[in-house]
Amino acid sequence: MTTGPGLRERKKERTRQALINSALDLFAERGYEATTVADIAAGADVSTRTFFSYFASKEEILFADTEERLALAFAVIDQRGPRDEPADVLLRTMATILDRSERFAQVFDRAAPIRLRMLLTVPAVQGMALRRLLSAQQRLAAHLQAAFPDRLDRVEAAAMVGALVGAVVNTLLTLVESPEQVDQLTGDVDHVLAHLRRAVDVAVRGIAAG
């Protein structure tokens, strides 16, 4: 018989979510620079020490869902069929992530406008985002190459993942050119997701043609 998460796990998840909510409230109210880790911990009614058992820094809290999305991508790649082409698997991977985003509001949720503003205006967050993006691309490329060891070498896998991720990132940057456009963008989820799906399709068709 399968049971859900135990009491300890549920408490940990509630604390984690409380820290995220506290940070988002404070970032929106005071701004990023004026918000401290101690402020975030106090808003979640926990100690600063507890904060650091969940997040290494206040920058990390803006990217709390990164690992979940990577795990989803890895799972899709691992389930590739014997007749699948690498481009097919990448297309399915991105389609799954965007579909999950649409249904469960993981991308354009309450955090999205705050995250986008921080990315456009706060150098520390920009640096964190770039490091995470590069790491995610390397990990995705390694996973893709491992799924197609006889079809792709490391350079080819890296180029394919880079083309796909670049298409998505540059589409978002094209849609949001200034902090003032953030609310308009995140207020129309279907419109944004349609643009991202188009970007993925263009990138994958280019990969397949190569």
Q: What are the per-10-residue average pLDDT scores of the chain (210 residues)?
A: 69 91 91 94 96 91 83 92 89 82 51 78 86 92 94 93 88 73 62 80 70
Task: Give the pLDDT confidence score for residue 189 in this predicted structure.
Answer: 64
Kind and range of the H or E run holding 8: helix 7-30
Task: Give the pLDDT confidence score for residue 99 in this predicted structure.
Answer: 77
Task: Give the pLDDT confidence score for residue 107 in this predicted structure.
Answer: 44
Report how far residue 125's alpha carbon sits from residue 58's, in angstroms, rounded to the nearest whole number: 9
Domains of the chain: 7-57 (1.10.10.60), 65-209 (1.10.357)
Query: C-alpha angle 104/188/99, rounded to 5°?
Result: 30
Report how far residue 51's alpha carbon sits from residue 39's, in angstroms, rounded to the nearest whole number: 10
Task: Give the pLDDT confidence score for residue 183 in this predicted structure.
Answer: 63
Enumerate residues 6+ apart whose C-beta is below 8 A from 61: 19, 20, 23, 40, 55
